[in-house]
């Protein structure tokens, strides 16, 4: 634990040193949020009415966090073995580390490409404003391709095929069905974090809370590489969140949202506590579920069932201030993390 705490602090210091020059670099490269509202100012979506003033804010926090965490892990982790620090792992070490970083970097690259298209691609006119980035269907398909590949590696290389349900203490052996199950979980978490990343500090703060709970869970299963990875991630996220809270000076972008959501899911799968992790990540799940209900209602009923979605936009629509929504979401997230942690440890 002392080692992980030290790594957390070190990651925080390194990210803190880099983040201001990185923000300035993003300004120079014009990696900034663009105006999405229609130029004719007709039928402006509620999101754009509330958030279009944030155009011009750099988008790239996820890229910095992924880079710092990956480089620090690559440099420091081999040194621990050379120094004689004991390393324990629940799975074959090399395969486990590869899967963690394949998820972290693979989904990050998909998000980075989407961000680049948003910065420099030509927008498409939509019914309710301009549309930037990769088309939803293409991005969704790419998520499934990456997730299925990672799920196959978990099943084939790590020999994972068990799903544990807490309290009931039931273990289900899924066999090769574990591959699509794991892929579904990754895609679900990826989009949940991406949907939640709509207010300053909302997704970043909730993610920080979730990671602290997962850090404890990783310690209980004596998985050193996972504990070290989470510690480095927490440290970098702390430094990012200082500049991401309202009014944000930097956003994580799809680079971070896609990578962080998928990796959150993979950690839950690796620890065998995915249902507990779903509770820990309950605010993310609720946000995604509200959007899912809205989309499904429009498609099958022909009209929405909620005034607006996701849920944080609904709170804004009833005149809750942005910082108030975020702070209360953090409090709810902390309670869910405590409950989910209890489920994971009983």
Q: What is the pLDDT of residues 147-181, one digit of tens each?
A: 999 999 999 999 999 888 887 767 788 899 999 99
3-class secondary structure, 312:
helix
From CA 173, how far away is CA 30, in angstroms rounded?
Answer: 49
Residue with tokens 């120079």: 28
Cα 315 to its chain centre, rounded Å, is 22
The confidence score (pLDDT) of residue 128 equals 46
What is the mean pLDDT of each successive set of 10 residues along the chain, which is 346 residues long?
Answer: 88 97 95 72 66 84 97 91 80 94 97 89 57 78 97 96 80 91 97 95 97 93 91 97 95 96 96 93 96 88 84 91 96 97 90
Burial class (CB in 10 A: 0-12, 13-18, 19+), 125: exposed
Q: Is the separation of the CB atoms in 204 and 333 below 8 Å?
A: no
- The first and second tokens of residue 329, run together, are 């979401």
The DSSP letter of residue 133 is: S
Nearest Cα residue to 69 out of 93, 95, 103, 94: 103
From CA 284, how far away is CA 194, in angstroms rounded?
Answer: 9
Could you tell me the residue range of the domain that residue 147 belongs to?
A: 2-34+43-345
The confidence score (pLDDT) of residue 75 equals 93
- The domain tally of the chain equals 1
Nearest Cα residue to 278 out of 202, 189, 194, 215: 189
From CA 189, how far away is CA 210, in angstroms rounded?
Answer: 12
What's the CA dihedral at 186, 187, 189, 190 to 10 degrees?
A: 110
pTM greater than the 0.95 cutoff: no
Residue with tokens 């030509």: 122
- The first and second tokens of residue 63, run together, are 């890229």
For residue 297, the tally of other CB atoms under 10 A from its CB is 15
Task: List Cβ neighbours of 158 (8 Å cut-off, separation of 6 or more).
Answer: 91, 92, 95, 96, 99, 270
3-class secondary structure, 165:
strand
From CA 104, how far away is CA 109, in angstroms rounded?
Answer: 9
From CA 77, how far away is CA 225, in angstroms rounded?
Answer: 8
The confidence score (pLDDT) of residue 133 equals 62
Give whole-number Cα distances, 339 to 42, 188, 207, in Å. Answer: 45, 21, 16
Q: Which residues are 171's β-sheet partners?
A: 164
Cα 25 to its chain centre, rounded Å, is 24
The confidence score (pLDDT) of residue 171 equals 79
From CA 34, how far away is CA 32, in angstroms rounded?
Answer: 6
- The first and second tokens of residue 192, run together, are 């949940």
Cα 55 to its chain centre, rounded Å, is 22
């Amino acid at each position: 634990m002392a080692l992980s705490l030290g790594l957390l602090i070190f990651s925080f210091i390194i990210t803190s040193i880099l983040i201001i020059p990185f923000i300035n670099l993003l300004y120079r490269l014009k990696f900034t949020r663009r105006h999405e509202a229609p130029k004719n100012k007709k039928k402006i979506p509620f999101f754009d009415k509330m958030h279009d003033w944030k155009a011009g804010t750099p988008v790239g926090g996820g890229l910095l966090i992924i880079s710092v965490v990956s480089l620090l892990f690559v440099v420091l982790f081999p040194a621990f073995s050379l120094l004689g620090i004991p390393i324990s792992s629940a799975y074959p070490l090399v395969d486990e580390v590869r899967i963690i970083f394949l998820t972290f970097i693979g989904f990050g690259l998909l998000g980075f490409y989407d961000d680049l298209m948003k910065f420099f691609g030509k927008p498409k006119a939509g019914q309710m404003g301009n549309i930037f980035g990769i088309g939803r269907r293409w991005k969704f398909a790419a998520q499934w391709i990456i997730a299925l590949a990672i799920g196959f590696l978990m099943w084939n290389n790590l020999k994972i095929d068990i799903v544990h349900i807490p309290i009931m203490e039931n273990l289900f052996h899924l066999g090769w069905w574990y591959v699509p199950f794991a892929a579904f979980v990754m895609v679900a978490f990826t989009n949940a974090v991406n949907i939640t990343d709509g207010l300053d500090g909302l997704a970043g703060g909730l993610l920080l809370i979730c990671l602290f709970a997962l850090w404890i869970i990783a310690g209980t299963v004596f998985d050193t590489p996972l504990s070290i990875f989470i510690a480095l991630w927490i440290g970098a996220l702390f430094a990012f969140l200082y500049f991401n809270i309202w009014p944000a000076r930097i956003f994580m972008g799809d680079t971070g949202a896609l990578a962080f959501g998928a990796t959150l899911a993979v950690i839950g799968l690796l620890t065998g506590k995915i249902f507990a992790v779903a509770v820990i990540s309950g605010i993310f799940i609720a946000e995604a579920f509200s959007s899912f209900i809205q989309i499904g209602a429009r498609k099958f009923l022909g009209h929405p069932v909620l005034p607006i979605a996701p849920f944080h936009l609904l709170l804004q629509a009833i005149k809750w201030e942005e910082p108030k929504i975020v702070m209360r979401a953090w409090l709810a997230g902390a309670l869910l993390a405590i409950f989910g942690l209890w489920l994971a440890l009983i």
